[in-house]
């Protein structure tokens, strides 16, 4: 029989409510929630909140991209996540053009073997053919129920509208969730060339080439295409009011659209690209770029109002040397920033400690909503008997100053460098195993397991039913009411 652990004296905080109770864990699962539980190893949660571990639905570990690979692998990436209270990540499996999805999936399984925390994959649709159409069902049979589409990165990962529509309809048929990176890749490519021709070669050109309009337009287009395909839609890294407005409007009309702001876009702004240091600015190059304060306010309001549902990182870290590939041309700076270790502490500090979010809303945005959308609730994202014991014992009084010197990520800098956070894990548990103990990371490489995700979440079922009920139907007329044929 596996060892028992009891988390004692804390306040359980879920997406629904907060209450005082102990939590007992056996065999990696929560087995009991109640008062005065005893037996086994005791973890003191006095003064702490006991919450579902964070789920980051958007990371790129060892991602092949822009002529290199993102620097954090599944071991350092998941270790970083655990240090900040995140107990599960979802990475993107990216077939190269012409490559089979199943072959790419094998490669992703091979490189995720040393993960310290549980993980899953979204599959990317990077090219289109009958083979991909057929393989999508097989991918679902392998436990992946979401398919990502890049509307940007022209000439590399980008797919065209007809491919988007075909793929979205396929998602509808197989009970899967399409996701989009929504930026108009054609417009971005043209703007990049114009800026370079005008002599703007530094990282400031990155933001200028991807204004909110390119994101708003693509978000709106993807939403309309998804509606025509009769499928829900998940919009990754929603960074601006234009995109948020499209999501908000669609939801108000009853469409099933989800929006995912990143912690970076919530707290960092476009002034970073005007920093006199080329390295500083280049290290913050990601797509979409950081925006202005009005756009940040829109994202916070979306989380408060429920028009945006989850907070992710898009963790895709590159070393200083890798960022310098673009020293003469901003379009060659590898796009991406880190954030896995910082998402929960920064969101707590800037969200809960400022009164923008309640602790329960924090749990919803960092864990429970994600688990529900990805169809893994209540195995993940819950403090309930029978759920996986992916838990964080959160000390709201614990502080630190974020620094690259002490982080788990392998890169030499941190976009949140120098920021003081208040609210950190006292313990992080991954299926019952203590991965963080009073600030010390003691996670085990290889402990993480692949989490399968079944198709046909309730939202897909409801949408298919509605499409069926409202499908165009022939009017059957009595021949007596028909004029004679001429
Ligand atoms: N976001 C970013 O700049 N890099 C990672 C790839 C992507 O998500 O677009
Ligand atoms: Zn993206
Ligand atoms: Zn991404």
Cis peptide before 288 (omega within 30 of 0): yes
Angle between helices 130-141 and 161-174 (to 10 degrees): 40
57 lines ligand 1 (CB under 6 A): no
Cis peptide before 215 (omega within 30 of 0): no
Beginning with the edge strand found earlier in the chain, give each strand of the sheet holding 233-235 in spatial order. 54-59, 86-93, 118-124, 146-150, 177-181, 233-235, 257-259
**pLDDT score of 185:** 98
E strands along 260-331, which residues?
none
Model-wide pTM > 0.95: yes
Task: Please tell me what DSSP assigns to residue 415.
Answer: T
In order, the DSSP letters of 355-404 are: TSS-HHHHHIIIIIHHHHHTT-TTTSS--STTSB--EEEEEEEEEEE--G
pLDDT level of residue 2 (50, 70, 90 thresholds)? low
Residue 41 CA, ligand 3 centroid: distance in Å: 39
pLDDT level of residue 484 (50, 70, 90 thresholds)? confident
In order, the DSSP letters of 431-475 are: TTEEEEETTEE---TT---BPP--S--HHHHHHHHHHHHTS--PP
Task: Please tell me what DSSP assigns to residue 315.
Answer: B
Question: What is the tens place of the pLDDT at every residue in 116-146?
Answer: 999 999 999 999 999 999 999 999 999 999 9
pLDDT level of residue 296 (50, 70, 90 thresholds)? very high
Residues 6 or more apart whose CB falls under 8 angstroms from that of 185 comprise 150, 151, 152, 153, 154, 158
Question: What is the tens place of the pLDDT at every residue in 433-468?
Answer: 999 999 899 999 999 999 999 999 999 999 889 888
* Phi-psi sector, 68: left (phi>0), alpha (psi -120 to 50), beta: beta
Ligand 1, residue 152: give the atom nearest the CA.
9
Mutate to test the pocket of ligand 1, among 89, 237, 339 (most ligand atoms within 8 A of CB): 237
The complex's ipTM works out to 0.99
Mutate to test the pocket of ligand 1, among 239, 260, 286 (most ligand atoms within 8 A of CB): 286
**pLDDT score of 31:** 98
Question: What is the tens place of the pLDDT at every residue in 182-236?
Answer: 999 999 999 999 999 999 999 999 999 999 999 999 999 999 999 999 999 999 9
As beta bridge partners, residue 275 has: none
- C-alpha 24/C-alpha 384 separation (Å) is 11
Distances (CA, A) of 387 to 27, 263, 287, 376, 383: 11, 27, 35, 10, 7
Mean pLDDT of 326-346: 98
Residue 465 CA, ligand 3 centroid: distance in Å: 32
Average pLDDT, the chain: 97
Measured torsion, CA atoms of residues 135, 136, 139, 140, in degrees rounded to the nearest 10:
-140
314 lines ligand 1 (CB under 6 A): yes
pLDDT level of residue 1 (50, 70, 90 thresholds)? very low
Closest C-alpha residue for ligand 1 atom 2: 336
Question: Tokens for 161?
Answer: 């509208």
Angle between helices 458-469 and 161-174 (to 10 degrees): 100
Q: Spell 135-160 as b/e; 16+ CB within 10 A means b.
A: bbeebbebebbbbbbbbbbbeebbbe
- C-alpha 456/C-alpha 177 separation (Å) is 9
Mean pLDDT of 342-351: 98
Ligand 1, residue 335: give the atom nearest the CA.
3
Give backbone dihedrals phi and psi of 229, rounded to 5 degrees, phi first: -80, -15
Q: Are 348 and 421 in contact (CB under 8 A)?
A: yes
CB-based burial label for 129 (10 Å; 0-12, 13-18, 19+): exposed
Cα-Cα-Cα-Cα dihedral sign, residues 49, 53, 58, 61? positive
Supply angle C-alpha 391, 397, 401, rounded to 5: 95
């Amino acid at each position: 029989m596996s060892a028992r652990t009891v988390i004692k004296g804390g306040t359980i905080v879920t997406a629904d409510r907060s209450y005082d109770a102990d939590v007992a864990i056996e065999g990696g699962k929560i087995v009991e929630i109640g008062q005065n539980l005893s037996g086994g190893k005791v973890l003191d949660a006095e003064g702490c909140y006991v919450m579902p571990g964070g789920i980051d639905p958007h990371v790129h570990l060892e991602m092949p991209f822009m002529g290199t690979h993102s620097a954090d692998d599944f071991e350092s990436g998941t270790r970083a996540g655990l240090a900040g209270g995140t107990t599960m990540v979802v990475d993107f499996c990216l077939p190269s053009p012409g490559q089979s999805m199943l072959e790419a999936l094998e490669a992703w399984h091979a490189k995720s073997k040393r993960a310290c925390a549980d993980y899953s994959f979204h599959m990317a649709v990077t090219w289109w053919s009958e083979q991909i159409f057929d393989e999508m069902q097989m991918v679902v049979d392998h436990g992946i129920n979401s398919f990502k589409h890049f509307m940007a990165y022209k000439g590399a990962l980008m797919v065209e509208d007809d491919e988007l529509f075909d793929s979205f309809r396929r998602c509808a048929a197989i009970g899967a969730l399409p996701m989009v990176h929504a930026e108009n890749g054609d417009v971005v490519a043209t703007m990049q060339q114009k800026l370079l021709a005008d002599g703007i070669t530094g990282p400031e050109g990155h933001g200028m080439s991807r204004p909110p309009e390119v994101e708003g337009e693509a978000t709106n287009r993807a939403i309309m295409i998804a509606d025509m395909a009769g499928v829900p839609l998940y919009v990754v890294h929603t960074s601006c009011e234009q995109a948020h407005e499209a999501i908000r409007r669609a939801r108000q009309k009853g469409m099933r659209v989800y929006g995912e702001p990143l912690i970076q876009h919530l707290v960092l702004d476009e002034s970073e690209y005007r920093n006199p240091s080329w390295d500083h600015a280049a290290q913050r190059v990601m797509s979409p770029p950081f925006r202005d304060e009005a756009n940040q306010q829109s994202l916070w309001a979306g989380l408060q109002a429920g028009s945006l549902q989850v907070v992710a990182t898009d963790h895709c870290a590159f070393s200083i040397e890798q960022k310098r590939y673009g020293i003469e041309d901003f379009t060659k700076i590898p796009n991406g920033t880190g954030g896995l270790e910082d998402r929960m502490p920064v969101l707590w500090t800037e969200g809960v400690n400022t009164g923008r979010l309640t602790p329960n809303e924090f749990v919803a945005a960092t864990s429970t909503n994600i688990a529900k959308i990805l169809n893994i609730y209540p195995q993940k994202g819950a403090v309930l008997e029978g759920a996986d014991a992916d838990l964080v014992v959160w000390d709201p009084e614990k502080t630190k100053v974020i620094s690259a010197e002490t982080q788990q990520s392998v890169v030499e800098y941190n976009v949140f460098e120098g920021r003081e956070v208040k609210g950190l894990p006292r313990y992080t548990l991954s299926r019952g195993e203590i991965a963080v103990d009073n600030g010390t990371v003691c996670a085990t490489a290889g402990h993480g397991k692949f989490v399968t995700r079944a198709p046909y979440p309730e939202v897909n079922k409801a949408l298919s039913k509605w499409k069926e009920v409202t499908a165009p139907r022939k009017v059957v007329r009595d021949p007596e009411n028909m004029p004679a044929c001429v």
